[in-house]
Structure 1
Amino acid sequence: MNDFFRRFAESTAHAVGSYWSFLAALSIVVVWAASGPIFGYSDTWQLVINTGTTIITFLMVFLIQNTQNRDARVVSLKLDELLRSIEGARTSMVDLEQLSDEELEHVHGEFARLREKYAPLIDDDLAHVARELKARKGSRRSR
């Protein structure tokens, strides 16, 4: 059952994310809007689109979340494998998803400090941009 749901969720997410699905949904809304005068813009007419979109949105949340969780897990495992295969890499980074938000913020700060310290040595363009933005922000405050 789990494998069936995975395949169903992936194929549905792929289909719903297509250009044709958007055009189909847009067509439904246009037909619904055009039928408004025929039904006198009644409460039932409004209830049809509200109920339909609510049900579809409710179901799609679970399908899309399942697909995103799986994709995130796959990317994480691939990155874990890369970390394990590089000599000198800190393999403690493999389990970062187990850390609290505060611990992740600490790790992020550590990398920011390393980038600032070593950027001039390796001509790190990203660190240069970050320093430039920081300098601009500081000059705006002093005005």
Structure 2
Amino acid sequence: MTAAPARDAAQSGAGLGTTQHARDTDQLSFFARVANATAHAAGKPFTFGLCFLIVVVWAVAGPVFHYSDTWQLVINTGTTIVTFLMVFLIQNTQNRDGAALQAKLDELIRVTKEARNDLVGVENKSEQELESLRQDCEAEIAASP
């Protein structure tokens, strides 16, 4: 990488430091901040352990409540609500991550002389256009020494 692209990448926020990350986080919407924090916390071993502990406590409480319908309803309702909400939070986080990744890849294509600029924004093309581009790339690779 030459000095100019490295400088441009540093100025654009590539390799974000703590200060830059804090500023970027402040600019996110409330929902995006909550979604990011929740998705991040959900992936921690502590969260898995906590959920496992809740299920164990629920299972141990079964005999106390005589395996009643209410006992079953507690875990069913709780897990359904959490799952339903997590789907949307994780999808939001994945959409943001995907868009950021595409922007980074587009920038790499743009600054690389040998790269094909027609691949910038390829994620917005139709399935047929994507298949055609994939076949073109495979043909170029097969033809190269």
SS at match of 2:121: helix
Among residues 105, 120, 140, which one is paired with 1:79 in the alignment? 105
1 or 2, which has the higher helix percentage? 1
1:63 and 2:78 correspond = no
Counterpart selection for 2:68 from 42, 49, 61: 42
**1:89 counterpart SS class:** coil
Q: Look at both structures and tell me which one has the larger radius of gyration over its CA atoms.
A: 1
In structure 2, distance between residues paired with 1:114 and 1:34 = 62
Q: Displacement, 1:50?
A: 0.6
Q: Deviations over 1:69-107 (max 9, x none)?
A: 000000100111111111242211111111111221221
Aligned position for 1:14: 40
Q: TM-score, normalised by structure 2?
A: 0.77
Segments of structure 2 that go 5 or more residues without pairing to the other structure are 1-26
Which amino acid is the alignment partner of residue 123 of structure 2? E
Matched-pair identity in % = 53
Matches of 1:42 and 1:116, distance apart in 2: 65
Select which of 108, 113, 127 maps to 2:134.
108
Corresponding position: 1:52 with 2:78: yes
TM-score (normalizing by structure 1): 0.78
For 1:74 and 1:38, the matched residues in 2 are separated by: 50
CA apart distance, 1:117: 2.5
Match of 1:141 in 2: none
- Structure 1 moving runs of 4+ over 6 Å: none
Alignment partner for residue 32 of structure 1, among 58, 74, 85? 58
- In 2: Cα distance, 1:112 partner to 1:41 partner: 60
- Separation of aligned partners in 2, 1:26 and 1:74: 33
> How far apart are the structure 1 equivalents of 2:66 and 2:130?
56
Residues 19-39 of structure 1 show CA distances to partners (whole Å, capped at 9, x for unaligned) of 000000000001011111111
